[in-house]
Structure 1
Amino acid sequence: MATRTQARESIIGLLYAYDLGNTEISKFVDELLEEKKIRNNQKEFALNLFNGTIKNLSTIDEQIKAFITQGSLEDIGSVEKSILRLAIYEILFEDLPKAVIINEAIELSKRLASDGAPKFVNAILDQVKKA
């Protein structure tokens, strides 16, 4: 059985594809989750995260823009942006402990993103949490 971490990792991959312009990825979410063996409660959790993030993308991106100290949203790598978008969605719209969400995002950025990503992700999410 898949874990919430595996579900989040799959959603980051889907958000990454979406960010790169594959807006049709929404049609294949069920198949992709099944392929990664994300089923039952974890599938429901993952679908909620993906759909909620896409639905609230403009609100989420405004949060990111508000706390970027250098550059713009377009300057952020797609993986880092996908991690931030997912975590900010969870902070703003889900009833989960914010510390857990931020820790999970940092751990995922250590595994999936560039070397400086964990520090960057932590800084942005900390500001979002306090806002």
Structure 2
Amino acid sequence: MKKEFRRHLARTATVLALYELDATNNDPETVLIAYTQMNVAELDARVEAYRELSALESFSHKKKKKKNGEKATIKAFNEAEVQMFQRLMKGAMHHREQADSLIATYAPEWPTDQIASVDRAILRVAIYEMLYEDVPIKVVINEAVEIAKLLGGDSSPRFINGVLGSIVDNLDTISEKRDPNTGSASE
């Protein structure tokens, strides 16, 4: 798979993991491990979502077996994607309150707890990337909109684009409020 698509897959998996954390009482570390050690040869909801996202037609829905009869392990992510997923997941979780504050500021007609969980997860990942990762803003917004088209509702792409566009318009002000010692904004 192309490098850009693998990054897209890691971002999308991060959104799915954050969504899972919002929708369940699962422990964050357990979810993180489940995604990073996901075996594509197994059948569970995460693997089914991964298969659909990556369009891996080459994998049958049957469990693969090794020659000795044991189940095969087919890693969903290579080491670079695991590192990216872990970084995005931990960063988005660590800066969740800041992201939610920015969402509330730049989408005031939508209380954060009333925004669709998947849209909220997409915004949290994108805001983290905008503020703390060395990724071009256009790439962050494009990826967020593409993930919204894939996972969100009909109005999700426009909503995501609007909120992120408003944040970008005020990025200088937001960046000025960042704490130079921690890299986090003090809102």
Identify the TM-score tier after normalising by the shorter chain: over 0.9
Q: Deviation digits for residues 10-52 of structure 1, max 9, x if unmatched?
A: 1111100112243503223123233151120111011000000
Superposition TM-score, scaled by structure 1 size: 0.93
| Match among 32, 35, 43 for residue 82 of structure 2 | 43
Query: How much is the aligned-residue C-alpha RMSD, in angstroms?
Result: 1.5
Query: Which of 145, 170, 174 does residue 106 from structure 1 map onto?
Result: 145
TM-score where L is the length of structure 2: 0.66
Aligned length in residues:
131
Structure 2's unaligned 5+ residue stretches are 39-49, 51-75, 171-187
Which amino acid in 1 is paired with 2:135?
L
AA matched with 1:120: F
Structure index of larger Rg: 2
Where do 1:67-106 residues align within 5 Å? 67-106=106-145
- Once the two structures are superposed, the pairs formed by residues 112-123 of structure 1 within 5 Å of their partners are 112-123=151-162
| Higher share of residues assigned helix | 1
Is the deviation greater in 67-76 or in 28-37?
28-37
Alpha-carbon distance between aligned partners in 2 of 1:40 and 1:4, rounded to the nearest angstrom: 12
Distance in 2 separating the partners of 1:69 and 1:60 = 13
Deviation at 1:90, TM superposition (A): 0.4
Paired letter, 2:136: P
* Unaligned 5+ runs, structure 1: none
Identity between Structure 1 and Structure 2 (%):
30
Q: Distance in 2 between matches of 1:110 and 1:23?
A: 26
> Aligned runs of 1:51-62 on 2, under 5 Å?
51-62=90-101
Deviation at 1:5, TM superposition (A): 0.6
Pick 1 or 2: higher relative contact order, CA cutoff 8 A, min separation 6. 1
SS at structure 1 position matched to 2:109: coil
Amino acid at match of 1:48: R
Query: Aligned with 1:3: secondary structure?
Result: helix
Question: Per-residue displacement from partner, 1:85-130 (whole Å, max 9, x unpaired)?
Answer: 1001100111110000000000110010000000000000011112
Runs of 4+ in 1 over 4 A off after TM superposition: none
